[in-house]
Amino acid sequence: MSERRTISRVKPDAMALRALAHPQRLRMLGMLRIDGPATATRLAERMGLNSGATSYHLRQLARHGFIEEDIERGNGRDRWWKAAHETTTFLEEGDDEDALDAGLAFAEAALSAQIKEMQRALARHPQLSPEWRKASTISDYVIPLTAERTESLLHQINALLLDAMAHAPKAGAAYAPGVEPVSFILHAFPRAPEEEGA
């Protein structure tokens, strides 16, 4: 097992969460977190945007502390950007109404991005090696629980995932052969009843 490292987190305020809820900014931050540092030009190429729009979104992300300039890379012409944190927390106990509204707007944007990620994963699934197909899943479980038991279970699952993350190489780093970034998407919520005729 590799040496444990600290996972950097950010708890943005409501204004920063609203800025991050923009789909292009959320995607850029994900690319910088997962793939490592990049220039506005490189991100624009990958996203199919013009470099002016990309630069604007990068400045907004930097303004709110999600990314920072990577001073170890580039030169006078090329400005490199990197993620300032590995994870984002939101919708926590004690949030006021403004933070709750901003958190829900961000959650909507994140859910949309997660759905697109799952669609790309399904499209890629036939090209995966047998080992990676066996190691992939789409699962859901509906379990009758109390709020307290649900919170406890989520704490256990999150602790397990964060421990695995802390012992893995940082996303965007050079990986050993056979190592790929693996996405675990976790949703837990009290299930709303199905509406009749819907």
pLDDT digits (tens, 9 = 90+) for 15-34: 999 999 999 999 999 999 99
Residues 164 and 181: their CA atoms lie apart, in Å, by: 12
- The SS3 of residue 197 is coil
| 182 Cβ neighbours under 8 A, 6+ residues apart | 135
What are the extents of the domains in the chain?
Answer: 9-167
pLDDT digits (tens, 9 = 90+) for 89-136: 998 888 899 999 999 999 999 999 999 999 999 999 999 999 999 999
- The SS3 of residue 110 is helix
Contact assessment for residue 21 and residue 101, using Cβ atoms and an 8 Å cutoff: no
Q: Nearest-CA neighbor of 80 among 52, 28, 41, 35?
A: 41
Beta bridge partners of 48: none
Assign a CATH topology to domain 9-167: Arc Repressor Mutant, subunit A (1.10.10)
pTM of the model: 0.87
pLDDT digits (tens, 9 = 90+) for 130-183: 999 999 999 999 999 999 999 999 999 999 999 999 999 999 888 999 999 999
pLDDT digits (tens, 9 = 90+) for 46-69: 999 998 999 999 999 999 999 999
CA distances from 48 to 28, 40, 79, 115 (A): 12, 12, 19, 20
Residue 73's pLDDT is what? 85
